[in-house]
């Protein structure tokens, strides 16, 4: 089955106001740059975005925040975005902060069909407020619900027409579990090859999880904070 489509605009054509989106990436690494640009151009509103972070002010999800497209962020790390901070403190943006490991596992659980799980992360903190807790072997755990989304937007290094994906380096972060947890998963790749060209031993996301795939262009691959030795 050839799942190739033309571009990001075609890929996100049926994303509507008020939907829940998962956006892969870690910092600015491995984020679906083309899909985010298409969402900004379409000016979709009232989105719930599940992402490890919220980009920076002028890149990534930060571009969507500037356009007031995001109603709620479900994230782990948001410290690099001044506009995010402003909207949070002013009450314009609803935010659910989750420990990073719990966020990853909640996405993975959603893709695996596991409705909830217990974790020790966050017990005794604000993270656990209003959630069920339970003692296992003398240690307290917090019940966390799985996360799923209307659409998952992921970015891979290489993919084929069947939707099989290979990630490179740190881009293999939140992209694989999020690719599993979207009702519809859209993958943008740096290189798109015919089916059968990828070595099955190196495929990270099987095509069964991907409904649409396209070859992206113009990737900036920005670095949030570049640190070099003298």
Name the superfamily (CATH) of residues 8-116+146-215: Glutaconate Coenzyme A-transferase (3.40.1080.10)
pLDDT for the residue numbered 164: 98
pLDDT for the residue numbered 126: 92
* Sequence ranges of the domains in the chain: 8-116+146-215
**182 phi and psi angles, rounded to 5 deg:** -95, 140
pLDDT for the residue numbered 178: 98
pLDDT for the residue numbered 212: 98
Structure tokens at 14: 């049926």
pLDDT for the residue numbered 48: 98
What pTM was estimated for this model as a whole?
A: 0.93
pLDDT single digits (tens) 20-78: 999 999 888 999 999 999 999 999 999 999 999 988 988 999 999 999 999 999 999 88
Confidence of residue 2 (pLDDT cuts 50, 70, 90): confident
Contact 189, 215 (CB under 8 A): yes
Residue 8 has pLDDT above 90, yes or no: yes
């Amino acid at each position: 089955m050839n799942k190739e489509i033309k571009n990001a605009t075609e890929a996100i054509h049926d994303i509507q106001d008020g939907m829940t989106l998962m956006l892969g990436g870690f910092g600015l690494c491995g984020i679906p740059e083309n899909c985010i640009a298409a969402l900004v151009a379409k000016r979709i509103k009232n989105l719930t975005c599940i992402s490890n972070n919220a980009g920076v002010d002028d890149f990534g999800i930060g571009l969507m925040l500037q356009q007031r497209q995001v109603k709620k962020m479900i994230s782990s790390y948001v410290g690099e975005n001044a506009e995010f901070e402003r909207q949070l403190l002013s009450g314009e943006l609803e935010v659910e902060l989750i420990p990073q490991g719990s966020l990853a596992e909640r996405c993975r659980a959603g893709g695996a069909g596991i409705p909830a799980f217990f974790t020790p992360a966050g017990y005794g903190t604000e993270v656990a407020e209003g959630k069920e807790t339970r003692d296992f072997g003398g240690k307290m755990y917090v019940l966390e619900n799985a996360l799923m989304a209307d659409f998952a937007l992921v970015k891979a290094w290489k993919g084929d027409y069947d939707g099989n994906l290979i990630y490179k380096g740190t881009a293999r972060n939140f992209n694989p579990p999020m690719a599993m947890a979207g009702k519809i998963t859209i993958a943008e790749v740096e290189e798109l090859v015919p089916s059968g060209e990828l070595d099955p031993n190196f495929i990270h996301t099987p095509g069964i999880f991907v409904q649409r795939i396209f070859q992206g262009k113009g990737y900036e691959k920005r670095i949030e904070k570049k640190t070099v030795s003298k």
